[in-house]
Structure 1
Amino acid sequence: MSKFRNALFTLAVLLMVGCTTVPITGRRQVSLVGDQEVIQMSFQAYSDLMKQSKLSSNATQTAMVKRVGQRIQQAVESFMRQQGASAQLEGYQWEFNLIQDDKQQNAFAMAGGKTAVYTGLLPITQNETGLAVVMGHEIAHAIAKHSNERISQQLLAEYGGATLGSLGGGASTQVINSVYGIGAQGLLLKYGRTQETEADRLGLIFMAMAGYNPESAIPFWERMAANSGGQAPPEILSTHPSDATRIANIQKNLPEAKKYYKAR
């Protein structure tokens, strides 16, 4: 009976809470948390991580990360303005940093625009356009409010739909950190297949609007696949789309993205 009651409660919560709509894709997503609440907690998590991290001293690479980030920021702001959705960027304080860590082949963008790239990823991105693929994808996660969605899913699964604020500082921080994967293993985002595919599509459009050729996404993800050494689990066992599925989806979405592309 307890499982049945829990299922009914979860359904009731899903029916009562507000939903948001992801830009472009139109997918409806459950949201149990306010944007500003998530943004402020992300800012704190980002600040803590920056204090624990060493920023790169390579001026050229650092400038490239900031340049790509700022161009994609401008593209996002332009896109949201065209959609009459600029209010969704309220509270954003964009920041782009390059973290010195050659072992981590990773990047992330938190709610509110706080973004970082690890130096270990640069040999795979190879150039500014490859970097734009990654940063467009990560910033798309933020614009699609995937962190809000993940927090909501965790609140439903582990806290019975409790609000983030009602958990108290320690528990709420733990939720934020688990969503972004902040811990001893570094920052490894744990988004699901739908969210990853969505970020790929949005990221292509954002990089195209920023003046980077979206066709560069295919060779980048091919390099990522080659770099993994075939260690990824079968797609049925993974929360992420397989390399082949991801590349096929990107190829399908390229015509849409190229409509936004104007070379710099």
Structure 2
Amino acid sequence: MCRRLTILLVMLLPLGLGACATSPLGRSQLALFDDSQLQQQGAEAYQQYAGSHERATGATADYASCVANAIIRELPQGDGPEQWQVGVFKDDSPNAFALPGGYVVINSGMLKVAENQDQLATVVGHEMAHVLADHANERTSTQTLTQSGLGVIQAVAGSGGEQLATLLGAGAQYGILLPYSRKQESEADVLGLRLMARAGFNPEASLQLWQNMSQASGSNEPPAWASTHPSNGQRINALESHMSEAQQTAARAREASLRPDCQRP
């Protein structure tokens, strides 16, 4: 019986994963939800964050917004939301994120890790890439499908279903959801590198940014196999493999007089 139930879960998941869209890098994606649903959720999440955090003002807000807007102005036409909203908030945690619908959040603490405009552009480009690649839909769809599969297992197994679903849930977490998320993070690294280079920022700064992130995380960084993100070393290696292309993109941007000059406070 246990073997049959395990096979059933394995069969359920690829069924959903096969009904997919295609990411900007040509990777197959699962997309079960309507974009308008996720955009509404993005708007609500942004308002909730803005309501619980104090907005940064003055030079800090101007600087972070300058970097984000420089990237927004050079986004490929027709890609992503028509309008973007950038919010800079007083929060010491070095964090930034972007939400469906075109909302970019930058914590003031990120400026302690991103030491210049090019490093900050690496972070912002990465987070915006998540939105452009529809990663929120993909992640939500994958989690929904996984939970549905576990629900079927529990129903079929009867009284022993709860324990079995828990065990299989752990397997799904480490075997499906986390690796799937790492694929998204790696994809956002590459796409974000392209976005910041397209705006005229120096793509080589991305390497130093992730070195800074590694130092900031110290021994708190989990092993790559148990993390939603690749290790900082893995990210640096992947970025180096795409650096030549990004440098050419940045050179073309500079030839077109795209030279961001965001003044760090």
TM-score by length of 1: 0.78
- 1:3 is displaced (CA, Å) by 4.1
Distance 2:216 2:12 in 1: 44
Which residue is 1:122 aligned to?
Answer: 111
- Spell out, residue by residue over 1:37-58, the C-alpha distance to the aligned partner (whole angstroms, 9 max, x if none): 211111111112211111113x
Count matched residues: 223
Asked if the contact 1:139–1:203 (Cα under 8 Å) also holds between the matched residues in 2, the reply is: yes
- 1:101 is displaced (CA, Å) by 0.9
**Runs of 4 or more off by more than 4 Å in structure 1?**
none
Asked if the contact 2:16–2:30 (Cα under 8 Å) also holds between the matched residues in 1, the reply is: no
Q: How does 1:42-81 map to 2 (within 5 A)?
A: 42-57=42-57, 59-76=58-75, 79=76, 81=77
Asked if the contact 1:94–1:114 (Cα under 8 Å) also holds between the matched residues in 2, the reply is: yes
- 1:128 is displaced (CA, Å) by 1.6
Asked if the contact 2:121–2:201 (Cα under 8 Å) also holds between the matched residues in 1, the reply is: yes
Aligned sequence identity (%): 35
TM-score by length of 2: 0.78
Structure having the higher Rg: 2
1:98 aligns with 2:52: no
Which residue is 1:167 aligned to?
Answer: none
1:245 aligns with 2:238: no
Letter paired with 2:136 = S
- 1:236 is displaced (CA, Å) by 2.8
Please point out which of 128, 133, 137 is paired with 2:126: 137
Distance 1:64 1:218 in 2: 21
Letter paired with 1:54 = E
Which residue is 1:33 aligned to?
Answer: 33
The structure, 1 or 2, with the larger RCO (C-alpha pairs under 8 Å, 6+ apart) is: 2
More helix by share: 2
- 1:253 is displaced (CA, Å) by 0.8
Asked if the contact 1:191–1:240 (Cα under 8 Å) also holds between the matched residues in 2, the reply is: no
Letter paired with 1:229 = G
Letter paired with 1:239 = T
Matched residue of 1:98: which SS? strand
Q: Evaluate the alpha carbon distance shift between residue 161 and residue 140 of structure 1 in structure 2; reply closer, same or farther with a 3 A threshold.
A: farther
Distance 2:17 2:183 in 1: 19
- Spell out, residue by residue over 1:84-117, the C-alpha distance to the aligned partner (whole angstroms, 9 max, x if none): xx1x53x543111111011x11000011210111
Letter paired with 1:13 = G
- 1:199 is displaced (CA, Å) by 0.7
The Cα RMSD (Å) is: 2.2
Matched residue of 1:108: which SS? strand
Asked if the contact 1:98–1:116 (Cα under 8 Å) also holds between the matched residues in 2, the reply is: yes
Matched residue of 2:48: which SS? helix
Asked if the contact 1:10–1:161 (Cα under 8 Å) also holds between the matched residues in 2, the reply is: no
Which residue is 1:234 aligned to?
Answer: 223
- 1:2 is displaced (CA, Å) by 4.2
Asked if the contact 2:122–2:206 (Cα under 8 Å) also holds between the matched residues in 1, the reply is: yes
